[in-house]
Amino acid sequence: MNRVLTRDLLGRWLALGFRLYLGGVFVYASVYKIGYAAEFAESVASYQIIPALAVNIVALVLPWLELICGAMLVLGIRVRTVSAMLGAMLVVFCVAVAVNLVRETPIDCGCFHALEERMSWKTLVRDLIWLGMAVHVYFFDSPLALERGLDTKVKEMDQ
């Protein structure tokens, strides 16, 4: 009983917590970047990874992607796909952060606002933690999801 409860707690309900937190973080991060796309483009450029031609486009699209994915994650729609996409984004961020940490490039993270503390290893660790959350969400079903309701209804109909 306890084991089941523990597993449930560590699986589904933890996944729900991660889902909501991660989705909220991404939605929150995206809002400012959408409103100040030019600044974000500078941040993107400061990483010196994306070619000049693509910088503006990425700076435009990436916040929207974060917004959509974050919202879908909070609402619980296509959680797997979304968590995979977020995971992929986090991987990219981590790589970018890691590369620039190695390069010792003096830039801000650019994660939330244009003016932030300098990017450091803590940034990388934070991103890695978020990546772990995304992985957890990917592998565990969580309650209070819009599409989970659909699934339950289908099961009820089958009975």
Partner 1 sequence: MDSDADGTGRGSVRAPGPAISHAHGPGTVPGSTNPVPNVDSALGQQRELDRKRLHLHVLLETSRELSGMLQPRAILETFLLTAMGPLGAVRGVAVLARPGSAQGLVASRGLPKADAEALEGRLPDICDLYFPYRDALAGSPAAKVRVLARGKVHGETPPPGGESILPAGLDILLTWGVDEEHCGLLALGPRLVAEQGQASGGAAGQDSGLDSGLDSGLDEDAADLLQNLVHILIDTLRGALAVNSIRQLSNDLTRQNERLAEALSASQSAQRGLDRRVFQLAAINELAGELSNIQAVREILDRFLLTMLGAFGAASGLALVLDRAAGSVSLALRGATDPGLAGYEAADTLVYKAFAGSGVRSVAPLTVGTLADPATALKGGGLPFAPSAAVYFALSPQVQGVLVLGPCIAEGDGADTGRAAQANVCLGEADQQLLRAQVAALLGYVRGARHLETITALNADLTRHNEELTRTITELTEARQTIVLLERAGERVRAFLRNEAERSRRFSWLNCGVILATATLLALLFNLASPGGMSLIPEHLRQPPAKAVSAQKARELVETEGALIVDARPQAFYDQKRIRGAVNLTPALFDMGYLMRFGQMPLETPIIVYGGNISRRWDQEVAARLLAREHERVLVLDDGLAAWSGRGYPVEP
What is the contact surface with partner 1 in residues (CB under 8 A)? 34, 36-38, 41-42, 44-53, 55-57, 60-61, 63-65, 67-69, 72, 77-82, 84-85, 104-107, 138, 141, 147-148, 150-151, 153-154, 157-158
Please give the helix or strand (H or E) that residue 136 lies within, else none. Answer: helix 121-139
CA diameter of the chain:
61
Residue 95 C-beta: closest distance to partner 1, Å: 15
Phi then psi dihedrals of residue 106, to 5 deg: -85, 75
Closest to partner 1 by CB, 8 or 147: 147
Closest to partner 1 by CB, 5 or 40: 40
Token pair recorded at residue 11: 């699986």
Residue 104 C-beta: closest distance to partner 1, Å: 8
Phi then psi dihedrals of residue 126, to 5 deg: -60, -45
Closest to partner 1 by CB, 2 or 104: 104
Closest to partner 1 by CB, 6 or 152: 152
Closest to partner 1 by CB, 119 or 124: 119
Residue 151 C-beta: closest distance to partner 1, Å: 4
Residue 2 C-beta: closest distance to partner 1, Å: 27
What number of H helices and E strands is found in the chain?
7, 0
Partner residues linked to 123 by β-bridges:
none
Partner residues linked to 108 by β-bridges:
118
Token pair recorded at residue 118: 């300098």
Residue 59 C-beta: closest distance to partner 1, Å: 8
Sequence-distant (6+) residues with CB within 8 A of 117 are 108, 109
